[in-house]
Amino acid sequence: MITFYNHLHAQHQGKVEMFRGALVPCYEVPARADHVLAELQRRKLGTVQHPNAFDDAVLERIHSRRYLQFLATAWDQWVALDPANAGTDILPSVWPTRTFRTDIEPDNFSAKMGLYSFDAGTPFTAGTWVAARAGAHCALSAAQAMLAGDRAAFALSRPPGHHAGADFFGGYCFLNNAALAAQYLRDAGMERVAVLDIDYHHGNGTQACFYDRPDVFFASIHGDPRTEYPFFLGHADETGVGAGKGFNLNLPLPRGTGYPAWAAALDTALARIQQFGAQALVVSMGMDTFVGDPISGFTLHSDDYLRVGARLRACGLPTVLVFEGGYAVQEVGVNAVNVLQAFADV
Ligand SMILES: [Zn+2]
């Protein structure tokens, strides 16, 4: 199986994130991707390539132009405020909730950061845009490889993507790699594409991108948002809206859920994806369902991921796998590559 590796990922290296009123070291660190790459190479699991180049217009198929322009210029705007800012990551601190207006982009930089984000856990750094864009190119390259006939292709990138919406970042995510891949497959002529999100956290960004559409089915298995991040989306009664009604499936599970109950939810999701008649599958492959994950609450074990990969493969669809979360840094390589191993011989 071919892997498209974001060789620029380490340019995004946040120092701190806000947690319960304190600045704590980032969980989303470059070593995550390094460990997955090392394990891929150790098992000799197919070729590893840099991503292909894409025009920025392809990003506009999912993200708004003004959001992309902000991401591309945010660091320069930040340093222009004060040259000393060059040594400090940017974190938002004010947001336009509910009755505020979001149609006017403020001139104030802090206000712009708030307009385009939803938490203070996602530092924006000097290399964020470069890394995120190359990561999106990895997902798009994997979609291209799948269209060219590969049974499965893997986008190994960070920062992750599934929390990012059309015009906002958060949850360590800036560009929605899985949504971009799904849209790319649609634009290439595939009529029905499914996105399956198996990260511990609900893929709020992906859901929002496709919530009113019947052509991209979104299914997510995740920690119950009543207690788990991102808290404000991911409930079972969110089934789509308008033409998209019936094309969104959320399967929230309580903290502490182990493999048997989790796998039953996976079977439910895959059955619905088959029923939908998907021609291709995009998997948001978060590995933070692992029992040792420091910020999550499911109890899957490393061997379980071999079974996860086998179930994904058994659904028989051409598949793009996109690396998302997973913060047990020492184990994330083994766990991720266990999923991929199931596809290795095809
Ligand atoms: Zn996650």
pLDDT tens for each residue of 127-147:
999 999 999 999 999 999 999
Q: Is the pLDDT of residue 346 over 60?
A: no
Q: Is the pLDDT of residue 233 over 90?
A: yes
Confidence of residue 344 (pLDDT cuts 50, 70, 90): confident
Ligand 1 centre from 198 Cα, in Å?
Answer: 9
Whole-model pTM: value is: 0.98
Q: Give me the phi and psi of 320, to 5 degrees please.
A: -105, 120
Ligand 1 centre from 106 Cα, in Å?
Answer: 31
Confidence of residue 345 (pLDDT cuts 50, 70, 90): low
Pick left, alpha or beta for residue 150 (phi over 0 → left; psi -120 to 50 → alpha; otherwise beta). beta
State the DSSP code for 238: -
Ligand 1 centre from 306 Cα, in Å?
Answer: 19
Q: Give me the phi and psi of 279, to 5 degrees please.
A: -95, -15
Q: Contact at 8 Å (CB) between 139 and 320? A: yes
Ligand 1 centre from 325 Cα, in Å?
Answer: 4
Give every CB contact of residue 118 below 8 A, 6+ residues apart in sequence: 95, 168, 169, 170, 171, 230
- The mean pLDDT value of the chain amounts to 97
Ligand 1 centre from 326 Cα, in Å?
Answer: 6
Ligand 1 centre from 132 Cα, in Å?
Answer: 17
Encode pLDDT of 148-198 as tens digits: 999 999 999 999 999 999 999 999 999 999 999 999 999 999 999 999 999
Encode pLDDT of 282-293 as tens digits: 999 999 999 999
- Active-site positions read 163
Confidence of residue 108 (pLDDT cuts 50, 70, 90): very high
Q: Give me the phi and psi of 170, to 5 degrees please.
A: 160, 170
